[in-house]
Amino acid sequence: MDIGDSVIDVTGLRRRYGPAGGKGFEAVRDVSFTVGRGELFALLGTNGAGKTSTVELLEGLARPTGGRVRVLGHDPYAERRVVRPRVGMMLQEGGFPSDLTAAETVRMWAGCTTGARPVDEALGLVKLAKRRDVRVKQLSGGERRRLDLALALIGRPEVLFLDEPTTGLDPEARHDTWELVRRLRADGTTVLLTTHYLEEAEALADRLAIMREGQVVVTGSPGEVIGAYPARIRFAMPPGWFVGDLPPLGELGVLRHEETDGRIELQTHELQRTLTGLLVWARDKGLELDGLDARTASLEEAFLAIAGAGAPTGASETSGAVGTNTGRGER
């Protein structure tokens, strides 16, 4: 990506809570990344990793204690009046007046927004048209979340910040939200998403960053991040046969193997080669491999390993593209 195309550009970002002068708690520590125009970037991390603290700096809601943020080429805190009209925000907590109806809430918000969408269009986008005359306090938690999203979209933003947008949504509403986010992205909206749902990041994100203890520890596309972790093949060894009877595991591309109660797990970065070798061997011996299961690593496995411990050894060599704490050079 040409740096000139970046819509969000974060370099060496820091945020400290508490008293000035080095005391207090540093929640964001030297975070750097860029998000290109029309890209969907997901920020992942365990509770307290620093995602919201970072996103609030990008939204211009607080001033960084160090580093630099640019959104659409401007400082979102110092130049809030320039940036704010071009940005949509869905915060973790909406906080609407509870006695207004959904339509009144959107109308009130539209009144503060230049070039606002019509109220019914905004409600239709999030499938709340039929609930337009229901008071906020009578909406379900998931419906309130969708109302939040309608408000974030009211000004047709160029950049959309979504902080855990599908928390509390049922599976159907979650998939509707994914479709909406995909449509917005296809229309050129740049989206920065935080989520605890790893399948959401896997389904939507062009690139993602995983934060741990205030730092970005890995960035890359979902495929690149997952690709740094081995695929697994599991099966039951037929009675009377042993691991030593398999073809040499190194020749099959197996990195590691484990045996528990007769069940074998092979780990490999070359799933097709390993699986082919195994199946050809079984066919030649006339064996059936009970419970055969082969799968690539999931984002969840990668996340648990990274968020809990650290990036995989040699992650960047393995995929050639996963950056470990790479900062702005990652693309």
Contact flag: residue 17 with ligand ATP (CB under 6 A)? yes
Name the strands in the sheet holding 263-268, side by side, starting at the edge strand that comes first in the sequence. 254-260, 263-268, 231-236, 290-295
Question: E strands within the chain?
Answer: 6-17, 25-36, 40-45, 66-71, 87-90, 159-163, 190-194, 207-212, 215-220, 231-236, 254-260, 263-268, 290-295
Distance separating the N- and C-terminal Cα atoms of the chain = 6
CB within 8 A of 155, min separation 6: which ones?
85, 86, 88, 113, 114, 115, 116, 117
Q: Which of 36, 50, 227, 230 binds ligand ATP (CB under 6 A)?
A: 50
Tell me the C-alpha distance between 71 and 55, whole Å.
11
CB of 55 to ligand ATP, least distance (A): 8
Nearer to ligand ATP, 25 or 242 (CB): 25
Instruction: Give the interface segment with ligand ATP, choosing from 48-56, 60-68, 201-209, 299-307 (CB under 6 A).
Output: 48-56
Which long-range contacts (C-beta less than 8 Å, at least 24 apart) are formed by 107-114? 109/151, 109/154, 110/154, 113/85, 113/154, 113/155, 114/85, 114/155
State the number of binding residues for ligand ATP (CB under 6 A): 11
Which parts of 238-267 interact with ligand ATP (CB under 6 A)?
none
Q: Which of 36, 45, 227, 253 binds ligand ATP (CB under 6 A)?
A: 45
Nearer to ligand ATP, 53 or 105 (CB): 53
Q: Which of 27, 31, 147, 249 binds ligand ATP (CB under 6 A)?
A: 27
x/- track of binding to ligand ATP for residues 100-139 (CB under 6 A): ----------------------------------------
The encoded tokens of residue 224 equal 């690149």
Tell me the C-alpha distance between 264 and 250, whole Å.
15
Of the candidates 235, 230, 207, 188, the one whose C-alpha atom is nearest the C-alpha of residue 315 is 230
CB of 175 to ligand ATP, least distance (A): 22
Tell me the C-alpha distance between 35 and 261, whole Å.
48
CB of 22 to ligand ATP, least distance (A): 15
Contact flag: residue 60 with ligand ATP (CB under 6 A)? no
Tell me the C-alpha distance between 257 and 232, whole Å.
9
The encoded tokens of residue 55 equal 């996103």
Q: Which of 47, 114, 260, 313 binds ligand ATP (CB under 6 A)?
A: 47
Nearer to ligand ATP, 51 or 131 (CB): 51
Contact flag: residue 25 with ligand ATP (CB under 6 A)? yes
Q: Taking a C-beta distance cutoff of 8 angstroms, is the pair 265, 258 a contact?
A: yes
Nearer to ligand ATP, 34 or 52 (CB): 52
CB of 47 to ligand ATP, least distance (A): 4
Nearer to ligand ATP, 249 or 307 (CB): 307
Contact flag: residue 48 with ligand ATP (CB under 6 A)? yes
Contact flag: residue 320 with ligand ATP (CB under 6 A)? no
Nearer to ligand ATP, 47 or 260 (CB): 47
Task: Provide the binding-site residues for ligand ATP, judged by CB under 6 A.
Answer: 17, 25, 27, 45, 47-53
